Amino acid sequence: MQEILKLQKMIVPELVDLLEKRYSILRAIYYNQPIGRRILANMLSLGERVVRTEINFLKSQGLIEINTPGMTVTKDGEEILENLKDFIHEIKGLSDVEEFIRKSLGTKKVIVVPGDMDTDHTIIKELGKAAANYAKSIIKSDNIIAITGGSTVKEVIDNFPKINNTHNIMVVPARGGMGKKVETQANTLAARLAERLNGSYKMLHVPENLSEEILETLIQEREIKDVIDTIHRADILIYGIGRADKMALKRGLSQEQFDRLKSLGAVGEAFGFYFNKEAKIVSVNQTLGININDVNKISTHIAVAGGKDKVEAILATELNKENGVLITDEGAAEKIVEIIKKSV
């Protein structure tokens, strides 16, 4: 099949481009339905005339419907999207990209989702779906799953299918809470994932940025100690990756702390740890939850992050992670490959 795809790209490249464009349009409609033509054009950075032409084609094929509220994808359109996913992945040569990044970083697995989050934000939903499908394939009965919060991890949970063939699954937040949005906090996401897995969950009601004295006191509480002990025994860790500067702002660090992180060369953040370009931990955000010793013992780390602005953070947090599984988008993957090749 790879040979056929290579021939198609050489002889009729315009056909491949057209296929990718129609796939992107159909996918964007699916994730934002009902949606109007003008909003769709702006979202995909395409001219309205181009979008109008493609919409007319998709409608003539019975893949979308156009009603007063906007465009929606039909059942046939949904099937086409699902069936095209692997084909688009292969036609873009993403399997080779995945293997190159996996070998270069020294991780267990890399999954690259077609598309660029910088130009199409619906790709974050594809990242969530890819991560959910991978996690589903490895979760076993009696597993303990630790998850962080954040909008990207929320997409993973949103796309998790109901699972009924496992038992005694426990889901826990990896660390204390962060942020003002309840719907993206680790406690909330842990409860939602447990429901999808027909399992149980424990919550960790501890804010971040507490003093060491307060943390030492809290850890003596029986209920909190029980949750911490469970986190320490996690089999799977699901987390997002952030830029160090942006995560410092989200966590409400003082200017002094912010400047210190910068002086330490922090570029990436994951589960409360700040990493420099050499993938070394240079700072830890004080809270209860997972620590670096726990992380090293966990058999599978599933990191989900996309967008070119996170590439430096991805490289910093994922280098030499033998148990790591990285799920990212095509735009970020291309930049990762570029950086790796320049450094050789």
Per-residue model confidence (pLDDT) at position 210:
65
Please check the confidence at residue 125 and state whether its pLDDT lies above 70: yes
What percent of the chain is modeled with pLDDT above 70?
A: 94
Nearest to 289 by CA among 176, 165, 207: 176
pLDDT for 275 equals 94
Does pLDDT of 179 surpass 60?
Answer: no
Model confidence band, residue 11 (pLDDT cutoffs 50, 70, 90): confident
pLDDT, tens digit, 9 for 90 and up, residues 201-241: 998 877 666 666 777 777 777 888 888 889 989 999 999 99
pLDDT above 90: residue 310: yes
What is the pLDDT at residue 4?
A: 65
pLDDT grade for 143, boundaries at 50, 70 and 90: very high
Q: What is the 3-state secondary structure (H, E, C) of the chain?
A: CHHHHHHHHHHCHHHHHHHHHHHHHHHHHHHHCCECHHHHHHHHCCCHHHHHHHHHHHHHCCCEEEECCEEEECHHHHHHHHHHHHHHHHHCCHHHHHHHHHHHHCCCEEEEECCCCCCCCCHHHHHHHHHHHHHHHHCCCCCEEEECCCHHHHHHHHCCCCCCCCCCCEEEECECECCCCHHHCHHHHHHHHHHHCCCEECCCCCECCCCHHHHHHHCCCHHHHHHHHHHHCCCEEEEECEEHHHHHHHCCCCHHHHHHHHHCCEEEEECCEEEECCCCEEEECCCCECCHHHHHHCCEEEEECCCHHHHHHHHHHHCCCCCEEEEEEHHHHHHHHHHHHHHC
Locate the domains of the chain by residue range.
Answer: 2-91, 94-343
Q: Which fold has domain 94-343?
A: Rossmann fold (3.40.50)
Q: Is the per-residue pLDDT at 311 higher than 90?
A: yes
Which CATH code of 1.10.290.10, 1.10.10.10, 1.10.600.10, 2.120.10.60 fits the domain covering 2-91?
A: 1.10.10.10
Q: For the whole model, what pTM was predicted?
A: 0.87
113-123: pLDDT as tens digits: 998 988 888 89
The CA distance from 271 to 260, in Å, is 19
